[in-house]
């Protein structure tokens, strides 16, 4: 009985060490592969991009440009509204919304590029 308990404790300790070193140690863990919205944002950021005139006008109202750094900050600030998105269509269309500045934009993800569509903002008349 004592031997079984000792074997159990050794296995439990090894399991705890594996969990600690793989998940807990180091605070800079990036689990973008886990949640659907994070995977979509990552996919939009790494693919080739195409911008519509409406989107560029909306960006100018926000006083932002389409550089890689500013675009990643913009996309991270928005949430994806899956109820108004079409993830099963081809190409997939996602609606990104931001409730703080009441703006939204659509992105169509094709197989080889992401097309940024209409940018709606309450503060902009594009």
- Quick check: 119 and 107 in contact, CB under 8 A? no
For 116, other C-beta atoms within 10 Å of its C-beta total 23
- Residue 125: phi, psi to the nearest 5? -115, 65
- pLDDT of amino acid 64: 62
Give CA 110 to chain center in angstroms.
17
pLDDT in tens, the chain (126 residues): 899 999 999 999 999 999 888 877 776 666 666 788 888 998 998 999 999 988 888 887 777 655 556 888 888 889 999 999 999 999 999 999 988 878 889 999 998 999 998 888 777 776
Gap between the Cα atoms of 1 and 75, Å rounded: 57
Q: What is the pTM for the complete model shown?
A: 0.70
């Amino acid at each position: 009985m004592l031997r079984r308990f000792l074997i159990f404790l050794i296995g439990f300790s090894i399991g705890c060490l594996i969990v600690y070193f793989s998940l807990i140690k180091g605070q800079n863990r990036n689990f973008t592969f886990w949640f659907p919205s994070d995977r979509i944002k990552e996919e939009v950021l790494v693919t080739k991009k195409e911008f519509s005139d409406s989107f560029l006008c909306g960006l100018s109202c926000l006083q932002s440009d389409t550089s890689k750094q500013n675009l990643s900050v913009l996309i991270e600030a928005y949430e994806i509204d899956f109820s108004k998105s079409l993830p099963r269509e081809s190409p997939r269309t996602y609606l990104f919304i931001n409730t703080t500045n009441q703006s939204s934009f659509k992105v169509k993800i094709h197989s080889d590029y992401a097309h940024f569509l209409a940018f709606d903002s309450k503060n902009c008349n594009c």
